Structure 1
Amino acid sequence: MSIDDALFVDLRGVLPLDANRVNAVVKAGFGAAILNQSQLRGDPAEHRRLRLRVGLNRIIVALDTGDVQELEQAEAFGAAGVVVGAGNQRDARSLRSLSLTAAELGLSFAVIPSPDSDLEIAALTSASMSEVPLCLRTDRMLADDRQPATFRRLTPETLGLVLVTDRHVRGLQNGEQALPGLGHLPLAPLVALMARKGFVGPWVVSLGSKVGEPADAEVLGKAARLGRLALLHLLDQASTGEPALLPVRALLPPRVQAKGFEFIELAVDQRSRAEVEALLTALSFRLERQHRTATVELWRQGAINIVLNEEIEAAGARPFVCDMGLRVDDAQVSAQRAGMLGAHHHAPSRQPGRLPIPAMKDSLGTIVHFIDQKSDTHRVWDIEFAPALLGQVSPPAGLRRVDHMAQIMPDRELEGLMLYYLSTFGLTKRTQVGMKDPVGMVASQALETLEGEVRIALNGVDATHSPPPGTSVQHVAFQSDDIFETAAVLAAQAFETLPVPSDYYRELGARFDLQADRLARFERAGVLYDRDSAGGEFFQLYSLPLSSGLFFEIVERRGGYGGYGAANSPMRRMALAQSIADRPHGSA
């Protein structure tokens, strides 16, 4: 069975499969689907011609009652197979008889056990093997803390098809169904075990409980693209060392680990350039290079490269982060993999003196360029830029590298952006948390490499409070080795920190039983603090927001602290909102 034949999208519902819906799922990359019997309407021959003409080559039909007449109807509509529900009231003899009739009609056959039925319990506990192939759901298989090893006795004959569903078991979405890879279940080891046992499909992906049954073909197509991306990413994860899944590895270029942020690029105009340059100067960045042919500058401190670009045509209140560069092992392979997983290619510049650096654009319009050591992309600062005439240079403030970047988006975009980063850049996810905000609850999802070279925080909000396309980056955080030394240097340069109310420090002292002199040091520097259960410590210092709302953060991590100071988020968000409200009219 080829990969295309093995990947099914679950379209079971009440809406008939018309030309627009068929076209939407095929454009999303699916050539196979599972439908309800009731969705088969009209002339069977015309239905088959419609599907085959567009490219939906295989369908499996979920029967309503599971009688011979329904089997014959499914065969007339060109189905490749059928599934039938079964509870305790349906005996094994009738199911075997139905499976034999299906075989005579050339149809594959599988039984969907009713939840908590004897048939499902026996399969999930490996108490006995079913006499007919089953359709099992992975979230049911791994419920109640069952592990993949529980299913070592499974055989290819036991499985007819697998409905691949994930589930959140902790955090903000605890108990909710999720697309494969976005929940917390160990799906990759389970899929690898099933492949090792000889099962190579069909793998069926549900579009998720949040989506329901999209009536609009465009919405359906977008949901189907996400489902296919999630399924391919999962199979790719499971394919390591599993010969049966090697076709997946042949389909996709290998995963390329992100190694760090090479640059952060801001779109500016003449008005906003002045305020950004003033803030960068106060942060001890220096103007190091100017583009040879464009109105573009490179500002640098430590391993942090900030690019200011006046030639960005995208709409949005300046300044905003329009682009970022990620260091990878192979820029071309990274771009190819992202494209094959559904990301949008960003055409490289073809102007004289510009390097053709591979780049992609995410669903929010932010561009990601890939920088490696194999090509000339890592020499972009020498090839495209000339040294700037240095004026008065501020003393360095000890900012070493980009610690993380935070994006804000409509909550409906959160899953898609998560899958983009997880499948393309080799990031892993932390537990999603909910944070209070002046505009309501924010769903915050942190993604990061195993060693923390790249950290990205995704924040989903109500669509009415989300930024315009292309301006999703809310803030960029820089890492310091000693935040108090950094704060002292910046204070001498008239760097303005975000005001922190005294009440915060009183509550902080009580929460962590901090000594008075240490607490006073925090308050003098305007530093926020958090500590995890293992004793790891986190220190934060914020700039005032720029006129567009973009701001910078300075952080220090001690003792292996891996979080983002979520406990401080409500205070920080209120302080930012107050800072913007206190501005003189017309300055924002």
Structure 2
Amino acid sequence: MRRSIATVCLSGTLTEKLTAAARAGFDGVEIFENDLLASPLIPEEIRARCADLGLAIDLYQPMRDIEAVPEAEFTRNLRRARHKFELMRRLGADTVLVCSNVSPLAEDDDDLAAEQLGRLADLAQDFGIRVAYEALAWGRQVSTYDHAWRIVEAADHPALGTCLDSFHILSRSSDPKSLEGIEDIPGEKIFFLQLADAPLMAMDVLQWSRHYRCFPGQGGFDVAGLVRHVLATGYDGPLSLEVFNDVFRQADAGRTALDGLRSLLALEENTGVSQLPAPVIPSGVAFAELATSDPEPVGELLAALGFARTARHRGKPVDLWEQGTARVLVNAGAARRRTETTLAAVGLESADPRASTHRAEALLAPALPRRRTERDVPLESIAAPDGTEVLFCATGKPELPSWTDDFARTGKPARPGFGIDHLALTQPWHHFDEAVLFHRTVLGLSPHDTVELADPYGLFRSRALSAPADGPRIVLNLAPAPTDDAGAGHVAFAVEDVVAIVRRVRATGTELLRIPGNYYDDLAASYEFADGELETYRELGILYDRDQHGGEFRHCYTATIGHVFFELVQRTGGYRGFGAANAPVRLAAQRRQGLGDVLADRLRSLH
């Protein structure tokens, strides 16, 4: 099917938007009227520009407040429409979007609405134009797709059809049965299909629509279910994205357009329109790689946690630290590129690394070339939206070389007991939704609900994605200030006895994140503990959470080195969350610790 995008989805001038859409690979565009009005190009020049870029103009929009009005007002509306139709003829657009009336003048009279839309369609037909009538979710008299269709059906005009918009339909009802009526509409009378997702929110639908729409797969709507109903009618028009989003309006138009096309590719796969290489869901985390220009503090902290430096890369300054099944690579070859320690790469275990890469490339994720010698194991790798390198490491196939073959063993044994529970990646503010879609579609991870938390300096937004069973968990965080400790990425290690581990760590003289006593006073009011249990948590700085099923979560944090810190996690009773209730306390403690470190550095510099 053809793929289209509304210019309102993208930032920049109309020329920049058209260029971004074409480079991403879209077939057509919806031209939003405000973009045309602000352009210095005349309609003929815009038409020629689209033709040069290989873009069809699939829709011109919107025309507002047309139908079910007093005759004098409708006469003025026809005069306005004539000017728009003449402009569209110059532009080369043959379909116009007419939104259901929101004006106080709109009358509750379906017969009048049908009669006036029929007259509008008469005029449009003279210009070779079709009218697609859409029910706005906040329409004064017409706010549902089935109501709009009844009016179109009553008008019975060949140049009048309906436009279905996933946001307007799904924001009013999440009941799957409410969508079944779509299949009663003849496919040839669905003139256009507009697609948007959105996070599930309890707010005014107009504000929800204007600021929080996102691409399919980034929100909580069943957009795929709606599209299946539409396709069952025989609809063969474009799948078109129409997203109003404050972040998209400020982000790079090229990246946004690529992200939009990725969402359509995944949607087509989900609805059976087209096929992509099958997802290869990663079975685990092979390693987390830290890039640093100063490996000594990282090594000291890992050693304090009980890790051993078990191997060194044969040709690069990269050390392998292990404990149990948890592996951390410390890459000191980043001195020319970075001054701070960062979580730069993630190795994911894949049953078929080549297939994983083919899937990623089909969904527009860039493959990354790797600097290696002839002796190095070839590793498939791609770039995540935040720049993190994702490497696919063969697992379960002894005939394939292992990434560990590149390392020479030091002879030090690894202590048992640790695993990698999850990885947390901090996202730039304009890449968060893109990252959710990437991890969901490219890696095949399932998203959890979005969590929003109070940070001392703003709002902290987080969304976890996970593989089935014991597969990898990745948490995407959007911090208010991603350059400080609260915005750092981290590796969470799974342990069997966090109390014993913390006592061992503290015996080395290593300090963990300090948690205020007020937190533990509140825990005493919230939960009942065994004698001495809460006092132990207070002494050691361990945080605690319990879910509704009785599952328990005990965790604590190290100090931050550069832009990385570690978390120790103990899960019992089937707990599957991430301790979100404790995040505000952790964030505040990290802010306070970061400020203390800055003050200490300044005092040292004075002496």
When the two structures are superposed, what TM-score results if normalisation uses the length of structure 2? 0.83
Q: Letter of the aligned partner of 1:427 in structure 2?
A: L
Does the C-alpha gap of structure 1 residues 81 and 452 become closer, same or farther in structure 2, counting only changes over 3 Å?
farther
| Cα distance in 2 between the residues matched to 1:341 and 1:68 | 42
Contact 2:10 2:253 in 1 (8 A): no
Does the C-alpha gap of structure 1 residues 295 and 544 become closer, same or farther in structure 2, counting only changes over 3 Å?
same
| Cα distance in 1 between the residues matched to 2:565 and 2:400 | 27
How far the C-alpha of 1:314 sits from its partner, in A, is 6.1
Query: Mapping of 1:171-570 within 5 angstroms?
Result: 175=208, 176-211=212-247, 219-239=252-272, 245=273, 248-249=274-275, 252-269=276-293, 272-312=294-334, 315-373=337-395, 379-390=401-412, 395-396=415-416, 398-399=417-418, 401-451=419-469, 453-462=471-480, 465-467=481-483, 474-546=489-561, 548-570=562-584
Contact 2:343 2:563 in 1 (8 A): no
Does the C-alpha gap of structure 1 residues 518 and 230 become closer, same or farther in structure 2, counting only changes over 3 Å?
same
Contact 2:7 2:18 in 1 (8 A): no
- What SS class does the counterpart of residue 51 from structure 2 fall into? helix
Q: Letter of the aligned partner of 1:435 in structure 2?
A: L
Partner of 1:32: 28
Query: Mapping of 1:32-71 within 5 angstroms?
Result: 32-36=28-32, 39=36, 44-62=43-61, 64=63, 67-68=81-82, 70-71=84-85
Contact 2:498 2:568 in 1 (8 A): yes
| Cα distance in 2 between the residues matched to 1:121 and 1:257 | 39
Does the C-alpha gap of structure 1 residues 486 and 208 become closer, same or farther in structure 2, counting only changes over 3 Å?
same
Partner of 1:141: 169
Partner of 1:577: 591
Q: Letter of the aligned partner of 2:308 in structure 1?
A: R
| Cα distance in 1 between the residues matched to 2:12 and 2:529 | 64
Does the C-alpha gap of structure 1 residues 550 and 161 become closer, same or farther in structure 2, counting only changes over 3 Å?
same
**1:495-545 deviations in Å (ceiling 9; x for gaps):** 432223333222211121334422123234432101122222111022222
Does the C-alpha gap of structure 1 residues 162 and 421 become closer, same or farther in structure 2, counting only changes over 3 Å?
same
Contact 2:282 2:472 in 1 (8 A): yes
**1:136-180 deviations in Å (ceiling 9; x for gaps):** 221221234342332223231342212212232248999443332
How far the C-alpha of 1:551 sits from its partner, in A, is 1.2
Q: Letter of the aligned partner of 1:280 in structure 2?
A: L
- What SS class does the counterpart of residue 427 from structure 2 fall into? strand
Contact 1:63 1:70 in 2 (8 A): no
Partner of 2:180: 152
- Aligned with 2:146 (options 123, 136, 159): 123
* Unpaired segments ≥5 residues, structure 2: 64-76
Contact 1:207 1:227 in 2 (8 A): no
Does the C-alpha gap of structure 1 residues 357 and 172 become closer, same or farther in structure 2, counting only changes over 3 Å?
farther
Contact 2:10 2:257 in 1 (8 A): no
| Cα distance in 1 between the residues matched to 2:550 and 2:235 | 46
How far the C-alpha of 1:264 sits from its partner, in A, is 0.6
Matching of residue 164 in structure 1 with residue 195 in structure 2: yes
When the two structures are superposed, what TM-score results if normalisation uses the length of structure 1? 0.85
Does the C-alpha gap of structure 1 residues 265 and 68 become closer, same or farther in structure 2, counting only changes over 3 Å?
same
Does the C-alpha gap of structure 1 residues 265 and 186 become closer, same or farther in structure 2, counting only changes over 3 Å?
same
How far the C-alpha of 1:325 sits from its partner, in A, is 0.7
* Unpaired segments ≥5 residues, structure 1: 240-244
* CA RMSD after TM alignment: 3.4
| Cα distance in 2 between the residues matched to 1:161 and 1:445 | 33
Does the C-alpha gap of structure 1 residues 318 and 379 become closer, same or farther in structure 2, counting only changes over 3 Å?
farther
**1:243-270 deviations in Å (ceiling 9; x for gaps):** xx1xx31xx322221222111111133x
Contact 2:290 2:344 in 1 (8 A): yes
| Cα distance in 1 between the residues matched to 2:511 and 2:289 | 22
Does the C-alpha gap of structure 1 residues 502 and 37 become closer, same or farther in structure 2, counting only changes over 3 Å?
closer
Which is worse superposed, 324-333 or 226-235?
226-235
How far the C-alpha of 1:383 sits from its partner, in A, is 2.6
Contact 2:450 2:464 in 1 (8 A): yes
Partner of 2:135: 113
- Aligned with 2:98 (options 76, 81, 84): 84
| Cα distance in 2 between the residues matched to 1:314 and 1:254 | 39
Which is worse superposed, 372-381 or 80-89?
372-381
Does the C-alpha gap of structure 1 residues 280 and 141 become closer, same or farther in structure 2, counting only changes over 3 Å?
same
| Cα distance in 1 between the residues matched to 2:12 and 2:300 | 60
Q: Letter of the aligned partner of 1:228 in structure 2?
A: L
Which is worse superposed, 169-178 or 90-99?
169-178
**1:288-314 deviations in Å (ceiling 9; x for gaps):** 222112222111112111111122356
| Cα distance in 1 between the residues matched to 2:463 and 2:203 | 10
How far the C-alpha of 1:69 sits from its partner, in A, is 5.4
**1:42-89 deviations in Å (ceiling 9; x for gaps):** 555443322111221333223645645543542342224332334356
Q: Letter of the aligned partner of 1:301 in structure 2?
A: Q
Q: Letter of the aligned partner of 1:266 in structure 2?
A: L
How far the C-alpha of 1:123 sits from its partner, in A, is 0.9
Q: Letter of the aligned partner of 1:259 in structure 2?
A: S
Which is worse superposed, 139-148 or 415-424?
139-148
